[in-house]
Each structure stands twice: as structure tokens, then as C-alpha cells.
Structure 1
Amino acid sequence: MACLLVSLTVLHLGTLAMLLIATLEKSWWIWKDSQITDLWYNCFHDNSSETWLCAATSDSDWLQSVQALMILSVVFSSISFLIFLGQLFTITKGSLFYFTGLCQGFAGLTDFAACLIFTFHRKEILNDTRDLSRGRFGYCFILAWLCVPLLLVSGVLYVHLRKKQ
């Protein structure tokens, strides 16, 4: 039981860290190695000063929905962890962690929705006249997709986890 509890906690914290990185880092779409786009900024690398120069992304309804869904995913996962800690000390012996699993499941579904929207509406989100075949998805987008099954699996594990003394 203790091993399962520790591994589930590590899985939860790992996915929460991956969600934060996917939401806040600068690599959802890469045009070339010197130009990247994320949910918040368009950046390019200035070779003369060796710095990244960033400007805010142009707002579109699709981009705002992806931003909101990723933030909701982080919030649901954070709330789920706090509820888990609270339930760990307050629920009775033999009870299940339903609410924790439900919040974690919602985090997975909102992350899934954000990834799907970005996948299918990237032309409108990127709002660029360039050919999308010259770019590729960045590691933050891949991290967001990796979080989807991890969040859903941990949500199911929480629902089946019983508190033992």
C-alpha cells in the first residue's frame, strides 16, 4: 500500500510539473531553430546579441481557448493533489478517493481538449502566412500530449485506491 501511495504521488507530481512546463515554456510550434511560438509569445533568436526576442501572440478565439484549457488543467491537477492530501488524513478507513480521481480526470480531459484544438486549428492559432509544413510541433506540445494518458490513468488509480490504516 505504501509503495502504491508513493508511486501515485510521484506520478501526480510528475504530471503536474510536465503540465506547468507545457503551459509556460516557449515551444509549442517551431518554425526553424531560431524562431518558436508558444501559447503566450512569438520569439526569435537574435544572433548578434545571442538573446531571444519575444512579442505577445496575436489573440484568436482558438488560442484563448487553448490557453484557458491548459490553465484549467493545471488548476484541476493542483486542486486534485491538495484534495488528495486532505483526504489522506480525513477520510475513514476503507473509503475511496473519488473526488481526487474526478479532479484528476477533469485535468486530463481539459488537457486533451487543449491539445486537440491546437492540433486541428494551428493555422488559425499561429495566424501566419507561412506554410505550416516548414514548421513542426515543439516539445511543450508533445509534453502536453504525454500528460493526457498520465492524468487519466492517475485519475482512475485514485478512484480505485482505498485508504488503509
Structure 2
Amino acid sequence: MLLILLGVLILHLMILILLIVSTSASAWKIGGNTSTDLWLSCMTTNGGSHCKTASNEDWIQAVQALMILAVLFCFFSLIAFLYQLFKMVKGGRFYFTAIFQILASLFVMCAAIIYTVMSPDDTLAYGYAYVVAWVAFPLSLISGLIYIVLRKKE
């Protein structure tokens, strides 16, 4: 049982790190000497980098908000898991943790879908931060489903 709990905890920490990296990294779209993310659009010329803030369009602000919510809900579900692990009665299930983790999964999925549909520059390729966000989605969904099934034992 201890190994299962340790595995779930490591999976949860890995998902949290993936969400933080995908939210803060500057590689949602890359190409040539240009890279864009949720916050900045940078162009490298003659060894120097020139960055400007992301557009003020509603869709990018929605993606920013959803990714921040995904990170927060993943963090809150980690705190809830640790709290329930020590305070919950024997035989109880981690429903509260599961709900937060599934919500984090849905937020990151919605953010990635909005970015995919609304991203204006089709000449750029998707970067690693975009891929990391898509990897974090099924992992957090699976983690949430594991929390639903998981039961606290002695």
C-alpha cells in the first residue's frame, strides 16, 4: 500500500511540474528565429532577443487563465491529498482530491484546445511547452481517476 501511495504522490508531483513548465516556458510555438508562448512573443536577430507581450486578445487571456487554474487546482489537489491521507478515516475515498485533479485536467485540455484553434500564425510549429501541456492532460485525468478508486487502508 505504501508503494501505491508513493507512486501516486510521485505521479502527482510530476504532473504539477509539467503544468508549471508548460505554463511558464516560452515555446508554445517556435520557428526559425521566433518563439511565442502564453506571455511573450520573442524574435532573435543578430544575437539579440527582442520580446513583446502577447496580444491582448480574449482567447490568449482565456488560455492564460485556464493554465493558471490548472496549476492551482493541481496544487490544491496535492494539498487535499496530503490532508486526507493523514486526517481521513480508514476506508474513505479521495473524492475531494479526485475532483480537483479532474478539474485541473479539464482546464489544461480546454486551454490547449483554445490555443490550437485560435493561434493565428500557422507558419510556426508547436513547441515543447504545447506538447507538455497535452501530455499533462491525460496524466492528470488518469491521476484523478486513480484518486476516485484509491481507498485509505491501515
CA distance in 1, matches of 2:8, 2:47: 47
What's 1:10 paired with? 10
Q: How does 1:1-165 map to 2 (within 5 A)?
A: 1-32=1-32, 34-49=33-48, 52-123=49-120, 132=122, 134-165=123-154
Shift of 1:46: 3.6
TM-score (norm 1): 0.90
Q: Deviations for 1:57-112, whole angstroms, at most 9, x for unmatched residues?
A: 12100000000000000000000000001001100000000000000000000000
Stretches of structure 1 lacking an aligned partner (at least 5 in a row): 127-131
CA distance in 2, matches of 1:145, 1:80: 19
Shift of 1:53: 2.7
CA distance in 1, matches of 2:146, 2:62: 29
What's 1:129 paired with? none
CA distance in 1, matches of 2:50, 2:73: 32
CA RMSD, aligned part only?
Answer: 1.0
User: What letter is aligned with 2:119?
Assistant: R
CA distance in 2, matches of 1:38, 1:57: 8
TM-score (norm 2): 0.96
CA distance in 2, matches of 1:20, 1:81: 14
CA distance in 2, matches of 1:28, 1:48: 21
Q: What percent of counterpart residues are identical?
A: 40
Shift of 1:54: 1.6
Stretches of structure 2 lacking an aligned partner (at least 5 in a row): none
